Amino acid sequence: MLAYAAHLANPVMYMEEIVVPRLTRHRVPAALPVADIVEDASKGLIKSPRSMPPKYFYDERGSQLFDAICETREYYPTRTEEALLRSCAHDVITQLRPDHIVEFGSGTARKTRHLFDACDRAGETAAYWPFDVCEEMLHDSGQKLVQEYDWLQVNTLVGDYLGGLTGLPPREGRCLYLFLGGTIGNFTEDEAATFLDEVRAIMRPGDGLLLGADRVKDSEVLHAAYNDDSGITAQFNLNLLHVLNRELDADFCDSNFEHRALFNTEASRIEMYLVSRRRQSVRIKALEHTLELEAGEKILTEISRKFTPANLESLLNDAGLAVQRHFEPDNGWFSLVLAEVEGAPVTQS
Ligand code: SAH
Ligand code: TRP
Protein backbone atom coordinates (compact mmCIF):
# COMPACT_ATOMS: atom_id res chain seq x y z
CA MET A 1 0.00 0.00 0.00
CA LEU A 2 1.72 3.12 -1.29
CA ALA A 3 0.30 5.80 0.94
CA TYR A 4 1.08 3.70 3.97
CA ALA A 5 4.70 3.23 2.96
CA ALA A 6 5.00 6.93 2.23
CA HIS A 7 4.06 8.07 5.67
CA LEU A 8 5.99 5.26 7.31
CA ALA A 9 9.02 6.93 5.80
CA ASN A 10 8.14 10.09 7.67
CA PRO A 11 6.88 9.00 11.07
CA VAL A 12 7.69 12.27 12.81
CA MET A 13 5.66 14.43 10.48
CA TYR A 14 2.55 12.27 10.82
CA MET A 15 3.34 11.03 14.32
CA GLU A 16 2.55 7.48 13.39
CA GLU A 17 3.08 4.54 15.73
CA ILE A 18 2.63 0.91 14.77
CA VAL A 19 0.61 -0.76 17.51
CA VAL A 20 0.31 -4.30 16.12
CA PRO A 21 0.57 -5.48 12.51
CA ARG A 22 -2.13 -3.74 10.43
CA LEU A 23 -2.91 -1.28 13.24
CA THR A 24 -1.31 2.15 13.46
CA ARG A 25 -2.00 5.23 15.54
CA HIS A 26 -1.65 8.80 14.30
CA ARG A 27 -2.15 12.05 16.13
CA VAL A 28 -3.82 14.58 13.88
CA PRO A 29 -2.33 18.04 14.32
CA ALA A 30 -4.94 20.81 14.40
CA ALA A 31 -4.69 23.15 11.43
CA LEU A 32 -7.34 25.54 12.74
CA PRO A 33 -7.10 27.00 16.24
CA VAL A 34 -8.96 24.81 18.75
CA ALA A 35 -9.67 25.85 22.29
CA ASP A 36 -8.60 23.55 25.12
CA ILE A 37 -10.88 22.66 28.02
CA VAL A 38 -9.60 25.56 30.15
CA GLU A 39 -10.45 28.05 27.43
CA ASP A 40 -13.81 26.42 26.62
CA ALA A 41 -14.78 26.36 30.29
CA SER A 42 -13.80 29.97 30.87
CA LYS A 43 -15.73 31.04 27.77
CA GLY A 44 -18.70 28.77 28.45
CA LEU A 45 -19.21 28.41 32.17
CA ILE A 46 -18.38 31.69 33.84
CA LYS A 47 -21.27 33.74 32.54
CA SER A 48 -24.75 32.84 31.40
CA PRO A 49 -26.04 31.51 29.07
CA ARG A 50 -23.73 28.73 30.19
CA SER A 51 -22.61 25.93 27.88
CA MET A 52 -19.84 23.42 27.19
CA PRO A 53 -18.92 21.86 23.81
CA PRO A 54 -20.12 18.24 23.53
CA LYS A 55 -16.72 16.71 22.73
CA TYR A 56 -15.88 16.64 26.48
CA PHE A 57 -18.52 13.96 27.08
CA TYR A 58 -16.33 11.39 25.44
CA ASP A 59 -13.73 10.25 27.94
CA GLU A 60 -13.51 6.47 28.30
CA ARG A 61 -16.55 6.24 30.58
CA GLY A 62 -18.54 8.68 28.46
CA SER A 63 -17.86 6.66 25.33
CA GLN A 64 -19.02 3.49 27.09
CA LEU A 65 -22.16 5.25 28.26
CA PHE A 66 -22.83 6.49 24.74
CA ASP A 67 -22.54 2.94 23.54
CA ALA A 68 -25.09 1.91 26.16
CA ILE A 69 -27.45 4.70 24.98
CA CYS A 70 -27.36 3.14 21.51
CA GLU A 71 -28.74 -0.10 23.01
CA THR A 72 -31.71 1.52 24.74
CA ARG A 73 -35.22 0.88 23.51
CA GLU A 74 -35.88 4.60 23.07
CA TYR A 75 -32.76 5.56 21.09
CA TYR A 76 -33.93 4.67 17.57
CA PRO A 77 -31.19 6.44 15.48
CA THR A 78 -28.54 3.73 15.86
CA ARG A 79 -30.85 0.86 14.92
CA THR A 80 -32.41 2.82 12.08
CA GLU A 81 -29.10 3.92 10.60
CA GLU A 82 -27.66 0.45 11.01
CA ALA A 83 -30.53 -1.08 9.00
CA LEU A 84 -29.98 1.52 6.26
CA LEU A 85 -26.26 0.79 6.17
CA ARG A 86 -26.86 -2.94 6.02
CA SER A 87 -29.07 -2.53 3.00
CA CYS A 88 -27.02 0.06 1.08
CA ALA A 89 -23.48 -1.14 1.89
CA HIS A 90 -23.12 -3.35 -1.17
CA ASP A 91 -24.25 -0.58 -3.55
CA VAL A 92 -22.02 2.04 -1.94
CA ILE A 93 -18.93 -0.19 -1.96
CA THR A 94 -19.37 -1.50 -5.48
CA GLN A 95 -20.16 1.96 -6.83
CA LEU A 96 -17.21 3.73 -5.20
CA ARG A 97 -14.68 0.90 -4.83
CA PRO A 98 -12.88 2.93 -2.15
CA ASP A 99 -9.21 2.39 -1.29
CA HIS A 100 -9.76 4.21 1.99
CA ILE A 101 -12.68 4.57 4.37
CA VAL A 102 -12.23 7.60 6.63
CA GLU A 103 -14.72 7.98 9.46
CA PHE A 104 -15.22 11.11 11.56
CA GLY A 105 -16.36 10.46 15.15
CA SER A 106 -16.12 6.69 14.67
CA GLY A 107 -16.78 5.58 18.28
CA THR A 108 -16.87 1.76 18.37
CA ALA A 109 -17.29 1.59 14.55
CA ARG A 110 -20.04 -0.93 15.14
CA LYS A 111 -22.19 0.09 12.18
CA THR A 112 -19.18 0.54 9.90
CA ARG A 113 -18.73 -3.25 9.93
CA HIS A 114 -21.52 -3.48 7.33
CA LEU A 115 -19.25 -1.66 4.89
CA PHE A 116 -16.34 -4.00 5.67
CA ASP A 117 -18.65 -6.99 5.21
CA ALA A 118 -19.68 -5.57 1.84
CA CYS A 119 -15.97 -5.21 0.92
CA ASP A 120 -15.50 -8.86 1.91
CA ARG A 121 -18.36 -9.99 -0.30
CA ALA A 122 -17.27 -7.85 -3.24
CA GLY A 123 -13.65 -9.01 -2.95
CA GLU A 124 -12.51 -5.44 -2.25
CA THR A 125 -9.99 -4.32 0.34
CA ALA A 126 -9.74 -0.86 1.85
CA ALA A 127 -7.80 0.81 4.66
CA TYR A 128 -9.92 2.14 7.51
CA TRP A 129 -9.10 5.48 9.14
CA PRO A 130 -11.28 6.05 12.22
CA PHE A 131 -10.92 9.63 13.54
CA ASP A 132 -12.03 10.30 17.11
CA VAL A 133 -11.14 12.31 20.24
CA CYS A 134 -11.47 9.23 22.42
CA GLU A 135 -8.14 7.44 22.20
CA GLU A 136 -9.15 4.42 24.33
CA MET A 137 -12.16 3.77 22.12
CA LEU A 138 -10.05 4.03 18.96
CA HIS A 139 -7.49 1.63 20.36
CA ASP A 140 -10.03 -0.99 21.49
CA SER A 141 -12.09 -0.87 18.32
CA GLY A 142 -8.95 -0.94 16.16
CA GLN A 143 -7.67 -4.08 17.95
CA LYS A 144 -11.01 -5.82 17.45
CA LEU A 145 -11.30 -4.85 13.79
CA VAL A 146 -7.88 -6.18 12.75
CA GLN A 147 -8.76 -9.46 14.47
CA GLU A 148 -12.16 -9.68 12.79
CA TYR A 149 -11.03 -8.77 9.26
CA ASP A 150 -7.77 -10.38 8.26
CA TRP A 151 -7.32 -8.04 5.28
CA LEU A 152 -8.11 -4.75 7.01
CA GLN A 153 -5.44 -2.12 7.65
CA VAL A 154 -6.62 0.20 10.44
CA ASN A 155 -4.95 3.57 10.89
CA THR A 156 -6.44 5.31 13.91
CA LEU A 157 -6.53 9.10 13.89
CA VAL A 158 -6.54 10.65 17.35
CA GLY A 159 -7.65 14.25 17.33
CA ASP A 160 -10.31 16.88 17.19
CA TYR A 161 -12.07 17.20 13.84
CA LEU A 162 -13.00 20.77 14.69
CA GLY A 163 -9.27 21.50 14.27
CA GLY A 164 -9.66 21.00 10.52
CA LEU A 165 -8.88 18.13 8.20
CA THR A 166 -5.80 19.29 6.35
CA GLY A 167 -3.58 17.55 8.93
CA LEU A 168 -4.78 14.07 7.87
CA PRO A 169 -2.01 11.79 6.55
CA PRO A 170 -1.94 11.57 2.74
CA ARG A 171 -3.91 8.80 1.09
CA GLU A 172 -3.62 7.58 -2.47
CA GLY A 173 -6.67 6.42 -4.34
CA ARG A 174 -10.37 6.84 -3.77
CA CYS A 175 -11.81 7.75 -0.37
CA LEU A 176 -15.18 7.15 1.15
CA TYR A 177 -15.74 9.58 4.02
CA LEU A 178 -18.26 8.70 6.72
CA PHE A 179 -19.97 10.93 9.24
CA LEU A 180 -22.62 8.82 10.92
CA GLY A 181 -24.84 8.77 13.97
CA GLY A 182 -26.47 12.13 13.37
CA THR A 183 -23.33 13.77 14.80
CA ILE A 184 -23.63 16.54 12.17
CA GLY A 185 -26.65 17.62 14.23
CA ASN A 186 -24.42 18.26 17.23
CA PHE A 187 -22.87 21.17 15.33
CA THR A 188 -24.42 24.62 15.10
CA GLU A 189 -25.36 25.71 11.59
CA ASP A 190 -22.04 27.57 11.24
CA GLU A 191 -19.99 24.69 12.58
CA ALA A 192 -21.73 22.28 10.22
CA ALA A 193 -21.07 24.56 7.25
CA THR A 194 -17.39 24.96 8.19
CA PHE A 195 -16.98 21.24 8.74
CA LEU A 196 -18.57 20.32 5.39
CA ASP A 197 -16.40 22.93 3.65
CA GLU A 198 -13.38 21.19 5.18
CA VAL A 199 -14.61 17.79 4.02
CA ARG A 200 -15.30 19.13 0.54
CA ALA A 201 -11.78 20.62 0.41
CA ILE A 202 -10.13 17.24 0.96
CA MET A 203 -12.48 15.37 -1.40
CA ARG A 204 -11.48 14.62 -4.95
CA PRO A 205 -13.65 13.64 -7.89
CA GLY A 206 -14.62 10.00 -7.41
CA ASP A 207 -14.67 10.29 -3.59
CA GLY A 208 -17.91 10.00 -1.65
CA LEU A 209 -19.30 11.24 1.65
CA LEU A 210 -21.86 9.11 3.45
CA LEU A 211 -23.62 11.36 5.93
CA GLY A 212 -26.13 10.13 8.53
CA ALA A 213 -28.58 12.70 9.84
CA ASP A 214 -31.58 12.48 12.12
CA ARG A 215 -34.91 13.78 10.84
CA VAL A 216 -37.63 16.01 12.23
CA LYS A 217 -40.40 13.84 13.66
CA ASP A 218 -43.01 13.55 16.38
CA SER A 219 -41.62 15.36 19.42
CA GLU A 220 -42.61 12.51 21.76
CA VAL A 221 -40.40 10.09 19.89
CA LEU A 222 -37.55 12.59 19.98
CA HIS A 223 -38.06 13.39 23.64
CA ALA A 224 -37.99 9.71 24.63
CA ALA A 225 -34.77 9.12 22.67
CA TYR A 226 -32.93 11.63 24.87
CA ASN A 227 -34.73 10.70 28.12
CA ASP A 228 -34.50 6.93 28.25
CA ASP A 229 -36.31 5.28 31.17
CA SER A 230 -33.21 3.53 32.46
CA GLY A 231 -31.48 6.88 32.93
CA ILE A 232 -28.39 6.12 30.85
CA THR A 233 -28.60 9.39 28.93
CA ALA A 234 -28.82 11.18 32.29
CA GLN A 235 -25.65 9.40 33.46
CA PHE A 236 -23.95 10.31 30.19
CA ASN A 237 -24.86 13.97 30.61
CA LEU A 238 -23.78 14.02 34.26
CA ASN A 239 -20.49 12.37 33.31
CA LEU A 240 -19.44 15.76 31.94
CA LEU A 241 -19.17 16.93 35.55
CA HIS A 242 -16.68 14.15 36.32
CA VAL A 243 -14.63 15.22 33.31
CA LEU A 244 -14.66 18.84 34.54
CA ASN A 245 -13.69 17.76 38.06
CA ARG A 246 -10.78 15.73 36.76
CA GLU A 247 -9.51 18.08 34.06
CA LEU A 248 -10.10 21.40 35.84
CA ASP A 249 -9.70 20.35 39.44
CA ALA A 250 -13.30 21.36 40.12
CA ASP A 251 -15.74 20.17 42.78
CA PHE A 252 -19.03 19.64 40.91
CA CYS A 253 -21.25 17.22 42.81
CA ASP A 254 -23.45 15.30 40.40
CA SER A 255 -26.32 14.88 42.86
CA ASN A 256 -26.70 18.67 42.76
CA PHE A 257 -27.60 18.57 39.05
CA GLU A 258 -30.30 16.99 36.97
CA HIS A 259 -30.43 15.91 33.34
CA ARG A 260 -32.91 17.70 31.12
CA ALA A 261 -33.44 17.20 27.38
CA LEU A 262 -36.23 18.81 25.41
CA PHE A 263 -37.17 19.27 21.78
CA ASN A 264 -37.17 22.91 20.74
CA THR A 265 -39.66 22.75 17.87
CA GLU A 266 -38.88 26.21 16.53
CA ALA A 267 -35.15 25.59 16.30
CA SER A 268 -35.78 21.97 15.31
CA ARG A 269 -33.29 20.68 17.81
CA ILE A 270 -32.95 18.69 20.98
CA GLU A 271 -31.34 20.80 23.69
CA MET A 272 -29.70 19.00 26.55
CA TYR A 273 -28.93 20.71 29.82
CA LEU A 274 -27.51 20.08 33.25
CA VAL A 275 -29.81 21.93 35.63
CA SER A 276 -28.69 23.09 39.05
CA ARG A 277 -31.02 21.56 41.68
CA ARG A 278 -30.23 24.22 44.25
CA ARG A 279 -28.33 27.40 44.81
CA GLN A 280 -24.71 26.31 44.98
CA SER A 281 -21.07 27.35 44.65
CA VAL A 282 -18.66 25.27 42.60
CA ARG A 283 -14.94 25.85 42.84
CA ILE A 284 -13.01 25.46 39.56
CA LYS A 285 -9.36 25.62 40.58
CA ALA A 286 -7.89 25.61 37.06
CA LEU A 287 -9.90 28.77 36.29
CA GLU A 288 -9.28 30.29 39.72
CA HIS A 289 -13.01 30.85 39.80
CA THR A 290 -16.03 29.94 41.88
CA LEU A 291 -19.27 29.45 39.94
CA GLU A 292 -22.34 30.73 41.72
CA LEU A 293 -25.39 28.87 40.42
CA GLU A 294 -29.00 29.58 41.26
CA ALA A 295 -31.56 26.80 41.69
CA GLY A 296 -32.84 26.00 38.18
CA GLU A 297 -29.86 27.53 36.34
CA LYS A 298 -28.95 25.59 33.24
CA ILE A 299 -25.76 24.61 31.46
CA LEU A 300 -26.34 23.72 27.79
CA THR A 301 -24.29 20.58 27.14
CA GLU A 302 -25.51 19.49 23.71
CA ILE A 303 -27.71 20.33 20.80
CA SER A 304 -28.88 17.69 18.36
CA ARG A 305 -30.43 19.23 15.26
CA LYS A 306 -33.08 17.39 13.31
CA PHE A 307 -33.27 17.83 9.56
CA THR A 308 -35.68 17.67 6.64
CA PRO A 309 -34.46 16.25 3.31
CA ALA A 310 -34.51 19.81 1.92
CA ASN A 311 -32.37 21.15 4.82
CA LEU A 312 -29.86 18.40 4.28
CA GLU A 313 -29.65 18.95 0.59
CA SER A 314 -29.01 22.67 0.96
CA LEU A 315 -26.45 22.09 3.72
CA LEU A 316 -24.51 19.83 1.32
CA ASN A 317 -25.04 22.06 -1.74
CA ASP A 318 -23.75 25.09 0.15
CA ALA A 319 -20.50 23.20 0.67
CA GLY A 320 -20.24 22.32 -3.04
CA LEU A 321 -21.48 18.76 -2.54
CA ALA A 322 -24.30 17.12 -4.47
CA VAL A 323 -26.65 14.44 -3.18
CA GLN A 324 -26.06 11.34 -5.22
CA ARG A 325 -28.31 8.95 -3.32
CA HIS A 326 -30.63 9.32 -0.39
CA PHE A 327 -31.44 6.25 1.72
CA GLU A 328 -34.28 6.46 4.25
CA PRO A 329 -36.62 4.05 6.02
CA ASP A 330 -40.36 3.97 5.23
CA ASN A 331 -41.16 6.08 8.29
CA GLY A 332 -38.61 8.75 7.25
CA TRP A 333 -36.98 8.77 10.70
CA PHE A 334 -33.36 8.99 9.54
CA SER A 335 -31.41 9.90 6.40
CA LEU A 336 -28.27 8.39 5.01
CA VAL A 337 -27.06 10.52 2.14
CA LEU A 338 -24.30 9.68 -0.30
CA ALA A 339 -22.80 12.93 -1.59
CA GLU A 340 -20.14 13.67 -4.16
CA VAL A 341 -18.17 16.68 -5.23
CA GLU A 342 -20.54 18.79 -7.31
CA GLY A 343 -20.17 18.07 -10.99
CA ALA A 344 -18.06 14.95 -10.42
CA PRO A 345 -19.95 11.64 -10.52
CA VAL A 346 -18.92 9.04 -7.93
CA THR A 347 -19.67 6.18 -10.28
CA GLN A 348 -16.54 4.21 -11.11
CA SER A 349 -15.86 1.40 -13.51
N1 SAH B 1 -20.31 7.27 14.90
C2 SAH B 1 -20.73 6.61 16.12
C3 SAH B 1 -20.49 7.48 17.38
C4 SAH B 1 -21.30 8.74 17.44
S5 SAH B 1 -21.07 9.61 18.98
C6 SAH B 1 -22.18 6.24 16.02
O7 SAH B 1 -22.80 6.62 15.04
O8 SAH B 1 -22.69 5.55 16.90
C9 SAH B 1 -19.97 10.87 18.49
C10 SAH B 1 -18.52 10.40 18.35
O11 SAH B 1 -17.75 11.52 17.91
C12 SAH B 1 -17.89 9.92 19.65
O13 SAH B 1 -17.18 8.74 19.43
C14 SAH B 1 -16.97 11.08 20.06
O15 SAH B 1 -15.83 10.65 20.79
C16 SAH B 1 -16.60 11.69 18.72
N17 SAH B 1 -16.33 13.13 18.76
C18 SAH B 1 -17.12 14.08 19.32
N19 SAH B 1 -16.58 15.30 19.12
C20 SAH B 1 -15.43 15.11 18.43
C21 SAH B 1 -14.42 15.99 17.91
N22 SAH B 1 -14.52 17.29 18.10
N23 SAH B 1 -13.38 15.45 17.23
C24 SAH B 1 -13.29 14.10 17.05
N25 SAH B 1 -14.21 13.22 17.52
C26 SAH B 1 -15.27 13.72 18.20
N1 TRP C 1 -24.99 12.24 17.83
C2 TRP C 1 -25.88 11.78 18.87
C3 TRP C 1 -27.22 12.45 18.73
O4 TRP C 1 -27.28 13.64 18.54
C5 TRP C 1 -25.26 12.03 20.20
C6 TRP C 1 -26.15 11.72 21.36
C7 TRP C 1 -27.13 10.83 21.46
C8 TRP C 1 -26.13 12.31 22.59
N9 TRP C 1 -27.70 10.81 22.69
C10 TRP C 1 -27.10 11.70 23.39
C11 TRP C 1 -25.37 13.29 23.08
C12 TRP C 1 -27.31 12.10 24.65
C13 TRP C 1 -25.58 13.66 24.34
C14 TRP C 1 -26.54 13.07 25.13
O15 TRP C 1 -28.24 11.79 18.79
Q: Which domains does the chain have, with CATH numbers?
A: 23-40+69-218+308-340 (3.40.50.150), 47-61+232-305 (no CATH)
Distance (Å) from CA 302 to ligand 2 centroid = 8
Distance (Å) from CA 98 to ligand 2 centroid = 29
Nearest Cα to Cα of residue 127 among 252, 6, 29, 279: 6
Nearest Cα to Cα of residue 91 among 336, 274, 343: 336
> Closest ligand 1 atom to the C-alpha of 106?
1
Distance (Å) from CA 295 to ligand 1 centroid = 32
Nearest Cα residue to atom 11 of ligand 2 = 302
Is 228 within 8 Å of 75 (Cβ atoms)?
yes
State the pLDDT at residue 151. 96
State the pLDDT at residue 343. 80
Integer-rounded Cα Rg, in Å, for the chain is 20
Does 208 contact ligand 2 (Cβ within 6 A)?
Answer: no
Does 53 contact ligand 2 (Cβ within 6 A)?
Answer: no
Nearest Cα to Cα of residue 345 among 242, 223, 205: 205
Nearest Cα residue to atom 12 of ligand 2 = 233
pLDDT in tens, the chain (349 residues): 333 333 444 444 556 888 888 999 999 999 888 999 999 999 999 999 999 999 999 999 999 999 999 999 999 999 999 999 999 999 999 999 999 999 999 999 999 999 999 999 999 999 999 999 999 999 999 999 999 999 999 999 999 999 999 999 999 999 999 999 999 999 999 999 999 999 999 999 999 999 999 999 999 999 999 999 999 999 999 999 999 999 999 999 999 999 999 999 999 999 999 999 999 999 999 999 999 999 999 999 999 999 999 999 999 999 999 999 999 999 999 999 999 999 866 555 4
Return the beta strands (E) in 105-215 as ranges: 127-132, 153-158, 175-179, 208-214
End-to-end CA distance of the chain: 21
* 231: CB partners within 8 A, 6+ apart: 259
